[in-house]
Amino acid sequence: MKIGLQFAMPAELFALPGVKGMEPFETVSGVPFYEIAPNILACAGGVSKVNAAMAAEILCLKYGVDLILNAGVAGCATDLPIGSLVVASEFLQHDVDTTAVGDPIGLVSTVNLVHFPTWESEKCVELLADLGYTATTGRVATGDWFATKGSRAEWIRDTFDPLLVEMEGCAIAQVCLRNGVKFVAVKSVSDHFFSENQAEEYFDFGQALENMGKVVLPLAKKLQEVE
């Protein structure tokens, strides 16, 4: 099975041991792509939904991956400790709103879905446990907004009840759905967006990067064995 590891920021990609300093084998539409193991490609496609969707489409159409594993850091709506690993059970887009024409909040037209399930999230938690890592599962909300404490964050929490909020995952999920490609996502808690210390947490997320970086490639190799 060919797997694409998709990150948003280079810092997330280079958190994988041995990857920093590696040369990309190709750059497409400004996105460098790396082969970090047999049949395992990786890229940092950029922050936000458009960048994420574009990189995911390249992985699907140009490189023919069978599964995309999206990994990175994310803000937490609850009190999970910094560095906690979360395998996303499903994604939604909190900034899609066509309720004015009678649609449910969060409905993504064309595919007509609000919730985008991931592939075998519980199995991924088990595979991580086999590797010696603890993870939980939960819903993740995606949108082109860095979540911070305030009325908008409260609305997202109360409307969608996400465990995490980030800026790329649901866009990748949508691309994978339309291409018939499996989708898995592993996030590490970098900050708590209802905390008074959110900025300090986010700009000191070394522990979150380390915890995420050490599990991604082993999990990808385990997924290759499963399939």
Q: Tell me whether residue 216 is in a domain.
A: no
- pLDDT for the residue numbered 205: 77
- pLDDT for the residue numbered 199: 81
- pLDDT for the residue numbered 73: 96
Domain containing 121 equals 3-208
**Amino acid at residue number 192:** H
pLDDT above 70: percentage of residues in the chain: 100
Q: Tell me whether residue 51 is in a domain.
A: yes
Q: Tell me whether residue 204 is in a domain.
A: yes
Instruction: Report pTM.
Output: 0.96
Q: Tell me whether residue 18 is in a domain.
A: yes
- pLDDT for the residue numbered 196: 86
Q: Tell me whether residue 172 is in a domain.
A: yes
Q: Which long-range contacts (CB under 8 A, 24 or more apart) does 116-119 make?
A: 116/90, 116/91, 116/92, 116/170, 116/173, 116/174, 116/177, 116/183, 117/89, 117/90, 118/87, 118/88, 118/89, 118/90, 118/91, 118/173, 118/183, 118/184, 118/185, 119/67, 119/182, 119/183, 119/184
Query: What CATH number does residue 190 fall under?
Result: 3.40.50.1580
In the predicted model, is pLDDT for residue 227 greater than 70?
no
Q: Tell me whether residue 215 is in a domain.
A: no
Mean per-residue pLDDT, 28-46: 98
Which pLDDT tens digit goes with each residue over 93-129? Answer: 999 999 999 999 999 999 999 999 999 999 999 999 9
Which pLDDT tens digit goes with each residue over 216-226? Answer: 999 999 999 98
Which pLDDT tens digit goes with each residue over 178-194? Answer: 999 999 999 999 999 89
Mean per-residue pLDDT, 143-162: 94
Separation CA 90–CA 75 (nearest Å): 16
Mean per-residue pLDDT, 123-147: 97
Active site residue 12: yes
| CB contact at 8 A, 25 and 34 | yes
Element (H, E) at 92: strand 85-93
Q: Tell me whether residue 114 is in a domain.
A: yes
Q: Number of folded domains in the chain?
A: 1
- pLDDT for the residue numbered 157: 96
The helix/strand/coil state of 225 is helix
Percentage helix, strand, coil, to 5, in the chain?
35, 30, 35
Separation CA 186–CA 121 (nearest Å): 9
Predicted confidence band of residue 58 (pLDDT cuts 50, 70, 90): very high
Mean per-residue pLDDT, 76-90: 96
The mean pLDDT value of the chain amounts to 96
Which is the catalytic residue, given 90, 166, 168, 191?
Answer: 191
H and E: helices and strands count for the chain: 7, 10
In the predicted model, is pLDDT for residue 130 greater than 80?
yes
Q: Tell me whether residue 89 is in a domain.
A: yes
Active site residue 79: no
Which is the catalytic residue, given 12, 57, 90, 201?
Answer: 12
